[in-house]
Amino acid sequence: MMTELFHRVARPAILAASRWEGLRRTSERLPVTRDVVHRFVPGETVADVMNSVEQLRYSERLVSIDYLGEDVTDVDTATATVTAYLELLDALGSHAEPASQVRPLEVSLKLSALGQALPRDGEKIALENAHTICERAKDVGAWVTVDAEDYTTTDSTLGIVRELRKEYVWLGTVLQAYLKRTHADCEEFAAAGARIRLCKGAYDEPASVAYRDMDDVTDSYLRCLRVLMAGSGYPMVASHDPVIIESVPGMARENNRGVEEFEYQMLYGIRDAEQRRLADAGNGVRVYVPFGNEWYGYFVRRLAERPANLTFFVRALAERRR
């Protein structure tokens, strides 16, 4: 009951807070908030994130690194984002590992951070910037996955992904199970042999395009995952939900998939013990590690996803004020 109430009442309010500019500025100035944020965002620099990468790789986990930022409004900021990713990839290249079918190092990127929403030639600019990042990733032996954003960007994002995959067939993308269109998108990309990160979805979307009830979202996720498992691509099960995690081995057996033919994905700082349990059992487990100073929107979406995250945040604030 409490979880249902959280998703119906608290979650929309928290997500609305992610759009309040004044609250963002205030939160970013508070040292106590920044201290708590480090549970989910390990730092602001490449050096910070590389320390986390080394620790995760030592525990046999895979990594996907996101340089935080989205919805850029000028070309210079988009260019600066590309520069940051190139610096990150160079750092990853210095930690290169023997080539394997599954690349342990990956970067995740949002096309809106690369200029997608710019009023003039936004899609073209984002495509060119993403191409530059993919080329460097190819050189250093890393993967790239294109993140999903709010539903209004989906057609544009998948169009850019289709274009990039003509040259970089290993490019992955994210599909969000709460969108009603996603089952069909899964069928398309599974047939094309694509790497697909399937997540539930973290934006407050209208009922006209998205499932709003959490049970409906979970049902949609499982239907979409069955499509991906039956296809010729590489499913990436991005979820912390025990119901979903427990369903994966059975689906893999039904489709004769070995542990090297799919992977679990979880967020940095969430269910670490479960990440380790899955990795210790021989599964591929990739941890999504964000870094940078544009952490506010990401952090608020993490609070909105699970009551436990919000409880942790409130408790940590109370302890630091004593």
What is the C-alpha to C-alpha distance for residues 92 and 306, in angstroms, rounded to an integer? 31
Annotation says 321 is catalytic: no
Annotation says 74 is catalytic: no
Please give the radius of gyration of the chain, using alpha carbons only, rounded to the nearest integer: 19
Q: How many CB atoms lie within 10 A of CB 48?
A: 16
Nearest C-alpha neighbor of 130 from the set 103, 93, 156: 156
Name every residue whose Cβ is closer than 8 Å to that of residue 166 and which is 6 or more positions away in sequence: none
The DSSP code for 28 is H
Dihedral of CA atoms 304, 152, 22, 310 in degrees, nearest 10, equals: 0
Q: How many CB atoms lie within 10 A of CB 159?
A: 12
What is the C-alpha to C-alpha distance for residues 68 and 17, in angstroms, rounded to an integer? 18
Active site residue: 11, 61, 136, 147, which one?
147
The DSSP code for 261 is G
b vs e for 76-111, b when ≥16 Cβ sit within 10 Å of the residue's Cβ? eebbebbebbbebbebbeeeeeeeeebbbbbbbbbb
Active site residue: 197, 226, 271, 286, which one?
197
DSSP class per residue in 161-208: HHHHHTT-TT-EEEEETTBTTHHHHHHHHHHTT-EEEEE---S---TT
> Which residues form the catalytic set?
147, 197
